[in-house]
Amino acid sequence: MTFVKSRCKAVTAMLLIATAVAIALFALTPGEPTPPPPLASLDASAEKGSYLAKAGNCATCHTVEGGESHAGGVPFHTPFGVLYSTNITPDKHTGLGNWSFEEFHQSMKHGLRPDGSHLYPAFPYTAFAKMTDADIASLYLYLRTLEPVEAPARANELNFPYNLRLLLGPWKTLFHDGETYQPDTAQSAAWNRGAYLVEGPGHCGACHTPRNALGAEQPDMALTGGVYLDKVKFGNYRPWSAVNLTPHGTGLATWSEEDIVAYLKHGLSDRAVMHGPMVEVIQNSTGHFSDEDLKAMAAYLKGIPANAQEPGPAPDKETLAHCGSCHLPTGRGDSVLGVSLAGNPLVQATDPSSLINIILYGPHLPPAPFVVDRTQMKMFGKRLSDNDIANIASYVRNTFGNQGSAVTPEQVKKQR
C-alpha cells in the first residue's frame, strides 16, 4: 500500500510539473506578428536586394563548399548540436519558390516558417529584424532572381530538448526584439547608417557578441567578442574567438577609421590581415560594400562606448617568451615580416582560441592575389609543445602594450 501511495504521489508531481511547464510555455509564447505592408507599396528592387544579400553574407552561409550557390547544406556547429542552412533559391519544392512576401517577411522579422513553426536563431533573424520593410522586400525580390536549385534541406542534428522547436516561442519572448532599427537623433547620419549595417543586415554581433547559456546574445556585452566553432586550416572544427569591436584597449582603440575601412575592404591594413572565418566575410560581404558604407561602419564602431569582458588570470613572469624577431622588437611588424601585434584585438581577445589556432596551424589566409606581400607565418603545432605554445601566446598577449589573460597548455591541447 505504501508503494502504491508513493507511486501516486510521484505521478501527481510529474503531472503538476508538466502542467506548470505547459502554462509557462503558453504564457511566454509570442502572439501573432503584424503583417507587413503590401510589396507593391514599398520602394524595393532586386538591384538593392543584391547589395543587401552581400551585406548579409547570404552566399557564405547558404552555399556548401563545392555545391550549388545558395542551395544550403552548410553545417553550423553549436553547443546544442549541428544545424544546416537551407535552400534559399526559388525552387518551388525545396527552396523559397512558393513563399509569399509576407511569409518571407515573417521569417526575417520573427523567425517563423510558412507553417508557423519557429526557425532556429542560427539563422540570424534577431539581427535581420532591424531591417526596414523596404530592404526586406528588396532582398525577397533579389532571391527570386536566382537560378532555382532542387536541394532538400538536410536534417538538423540537435540534442534533446533543443530539437523541440516549440521551445523557441518562449525563447523569442525572452530574447528577441522584432522592431526595426530606429535612428539615434543625437548621432550623425553616417553613424546611424553604420549602426544599421552592423546591427542589422551585417549581423556582426552574431560572432562578436558573447552568448548566454541559452544561446542568446548578451546585450550588455555587445560586440566585445565571442566564441564559436568553425574549421581550422585542415578541416577540423575548433573554437575561434571573434575580437572585441568596441574602441577599448583590447579592441579597436588603436585603429583609425581608415584602418577599419582598409581591413573590411581588402582584408589587409597596417593593423591586421584577414584569415580564418573572416576570409569569407570579407571576400563575400564587406569587400563589396561601397566606400561610403564602410566609412559609416567605421564611424559607428569608433563611436560606440568602449567595453570589454573580464580578463582571465595574468601570466607569471616565468611563462613569458620572446617572439619579436618576425614582428619586430616593438611588436609593430612591417609590410614584409608580419602584422602588428601591438594593440591587436585578436591577440588580446578574452578567449585566446584564434591566436592559438594561428600558432598551431599558421594563418588561414585567402589565396592570391588577396595577400601576396607578406611572408606567411609557419605552423608551430608539430615543433612546439602545448606548454611552449601557451608561453608564446601568453607573452604576446601581455607585451607590446597588450592586455590579455594567461594561456594554459590545456587550452592549446583543446585546439589540436
pLDDT for res 299: 98
Domain residue extents for the chain = 39-175, 189-415
Q: Specify the CATH number for 189-415; select among 3.40.50.150, 1.10.3720.10, 3.40.50.460, 1.10.760.10.
A: 1.10.760.10
* Residue type at position 386: D
Q: Which residues, other chains included, contact 414 with Cβ-Cβ below 8 Å and sequence gap of 6+?
A: 238, 239
- For the chain, which residues score pLDDT lower than 70? 1-31, 233, 314-338, 367-376
Query: What's the pLDDT at 14?
Result: 46
The reported pLDDT for the residue numbered 275 is 81
Q: Please tell me the predicted confidence (pLDDT) of residue 307.
A: 96
- State pLDDT tens for residues 307-362: 999 887 766 655 545 455 555 555 555 544 467 788 788 888 888 888 888 888 87
CA atoms of 378 and 171, how far apart (whole Å): 44
